[in-house]
Structure 1
Amino acid sequence: MLGLGVWQVRDGRECERAVAWALELGYRLIDTAQAYGNESSVGRAIRNSGVPREDIFLTTKFYPGGKDPRVEAEKSLARLGTDYLDLYLIHWPQGGPTWAWAGMEAASEAGLTKGVGISNFGAAELQELLKVSQIQPAVNQILFSPFDYRRALVEAGADAGVVSQAYSPLGTGRHLGDPAVERIASAAGRTPAQVLIRWAIQKGLSVIPKSTHRERIEANFDVFDFELDEQSISALDSLDTTHQTADALAQRQKWWS
């Protein structure tokens, strides 16, 4: 339900420390990607953590500028220093939502990954993929927060049996100073980050906030001993700017278009 994302975390000491702290504090889901350029650091931190590999859920993502997801999965495994992935995602639907899926299935069938899925796919793209897939995508990782409340996309995933996973739940820090979020956090005796993460969890999503600061990594994980009340949930819902869209990203955000 809750893991550490390492988008925009620098390869080397910064990334290794963040992953090491997360694992020490109880995190067991670590999310990286070929495009992040820090898989080697993630792998070193995991190996040095003392946490058994089988206790860690490790995700990476196929960079769709590449040609063959299976070949690229093998390269990721070499960088990560592990024999398998727990989840392998298409990072975004560049070139269309279906062309890479056969290679994703090949990676699964070869035992390189336990699960395969997608990221940044809208509901229409998900439906196109389901028409041709032999293996069901397990996850759709999407931009999701009270300000990006993609309710229709989450519902489309649920209808298809696909888990929605929230990235950038804190808006890369932009949402932490919002007055409504701050008011709710103050009333609950929690941090704004905890409120935003808890909101996504109560919406039924898996959540992968990013931080490189130990105290924030620890606080972000401390969200399972409280619940937001209906009034707070409603107030957060009202912050949405997407009209609860079924699209993964606004057209201006689609860097692959």
Structure 2
Amino acid sequence: MTATVRALADGTEIPVLGLGVWQIRDGRECEDAVRWALEAGYRHIDTAQNYGNERSVGRALRDSGLARDEVFVTTKFDPGPRDPAAELERSLERLGLDAVDLYLVHWPAGGPTRAWDGMQRAHERGHARAIGVSNFGAADIESLLGVAAVPPMVNQVQFSPFEFRRGLQEACERRGVALEAYSPLGTGRHLRDREVAAIADRLGRTPAQVLVRWSLQRGLIVLPKSSHHDRIVQNAAVFDFELTGDDLTVLDKLDRTHGTDRALEHPWW
């Protein structure tokens, strides 16, 4: 069975299943989602400055009663002209933490290297145990590695059987950069696919569990998002079954990116 944690290139251990809180409203909705996830066994919460819900994540973490070192917390720098190190200090105030476990550049605004000096300062100050990026293609990763004193540990990108970015995954693996999958359920779109549903029916699992399991068996860290209690619990129940080789082949063929090494087909920045 798949391990529940993996070591990043710098030795930092990261749970391979996390709760993403994108588009979950600040306040009770986000606090409940994080609380339910922690009760269900999640030990990895992924937020961002851009999401506007860091305060709720922090409140839920404190209310959980779990020790700080039991939960892996990620936030992301909202890129622009601001200083990443200073913005992380503001995030820490909102989260009520002394440090995050992972701090990512949310997208390569201004070019892939622009924010990295500030990210490295945040790391040097001990405000982030590890640093990385999000929505970076293979060319962006190469540019960044050409100047980085502290290399990125993670690249968080849109990834699923329908966005099976083989070229990007291979490029990251060659460079020791772990790939994280956001939107592994396609914001719900992929749950309606016939091939996914057929595998789920045969295994007695939900389509979401099949998609999350595919990400794990493809060597990814995966971040399903939900604000519904039952789905949060179901999405965590993915370590007690395996997809067969035939299942993986069927799912791999759903790819619509032609195995690209790009992070997105249509970047928004």
TM-score interval (norm. to shorter):
over 0.9
Query: Equivalent of 1:91, from 84, 99, 106?
Result: 106
SS state of the match for residue 215, structure 1? helix
What is the aligned partner in structure 2 of residue 176 from structure 1?
191
**One-letter identity of the residue aligned with 1:245:** T
* Secondary structure of residue in 2 paired with 1:141: strand
Q: Is the aligned partner of 1:255 residue 2:268? A: yes
Equivalent positions of 1:113-132 (< 5 A) are: 113-132=128-147
Distance 2:40 2:215 in 1: 21
SS at match of 1:115: strand
Whether 1:245 aligns to 2:269 is: no
Aligned residues of 1:66 and 1:72 also touching (Cα < 8 A): no
Aligned match of 1:139: 154
Corresponding residue for residue 212 of structure 1: 227
CA distance in 2 between counterparts of 1:35 and 1:65 reads 12
Corresponding residue of 2:218: 203
Q: Which ranges of structure 2 fall in alignment gaps of 5 or more residues?
A: 1-15
Between the aligned partners of 1:66 and 1:239, the Cα distance in structure 2 is 39
Deviations 1:207-257 (A, max 9, x none): 01001111110110000011100111000000000001000001x2x111x
- Give the C-alpha shift of residue 136 in structure 1: 1.3
- Provide the secondary structure at the position in 2 that maps to 1:148: coil
- Report the CA distance between 1:67 and its aligned residue: 1.5
Name the residue aligned to 1:28: 43
Question: How far apart, in 2, do the equivalents of 1:186 and 1:123 lie?
Answer: 36
SS in 2 for 1:19: helix
CA distance in 2, matches of 1:224, 1:95: 40
The percent of aligned pairs where both chains have the same amino acid is: 61
The one-letter code sitting in structure 2 at the alignment partner of 1:255 is: W
Q: What is the SS of the residue equivalent to 1:116?
A: strand
Distance 2:26 2:80 in 1: 21
Instruction: Encode CA deviations 1:84-121: one digit per residue, 9 max, x unaligned.
Output: 00000000001100010000000000111100000000
**Equivalent residue, structure 2, for 1:226:** 241
Q: Decide whether the 8 Å contact of 1:121 with 1:140 is kept in 2.
A: yes
User: TM-score w.r.t. structure 2 length?
Assistant: 0.94
**C-alpha offsets along residues 152-190 of structure 1, whole Å, 9 cap, x if unaligned?**
101100000000000000000010011111001001111
- 1:217 is paired with a residue whose SS is helix
SS at match of 1:183: helix
Q: Alignment partner of 2:129: what SS? A: coil
1: CA distance between counterparts of 2:68 and 2:232? 21
1:25 Cα offset (Å): 1.1
Aligned-residue CA RMSD (Å): 0.6
Preserved CA contact (<8 Å) 1:64 1:92? yes
Shift of 1:65: 2.3
- When residues 66 and 38 of structure 1 are mapped into structure 2, their CA distance, relative to the original with a 3 A threshold, is farther
CA distance in 1, matches of 2:82, 2:138: 24
Instruction: Report the alpha carbon displacement of residue 205 of structure 1 after superposing the two structures with TM.
Output: 0.3
Cα offset for 1:66?
4.3
Task: Give ranges in structure 1 of 5+ residues lacking alignment.
Answer: none
Whichever structure has more helix as a proportion of its residues is: 1
1:162 corresponds to which residue?
177
SS in 2 for 1:175: helix
- For 2:81 and 2:232, locate their aligned partners in 1 and report how far apart those are by CA, in whole Å: 32
* 2:89 counterpart (65, 74, 85): 74
Counterpart in 2 of 1:5? 20
Deviation at 1:9?
A: 0.4
Paired position in structure 2 for 1:17: 32
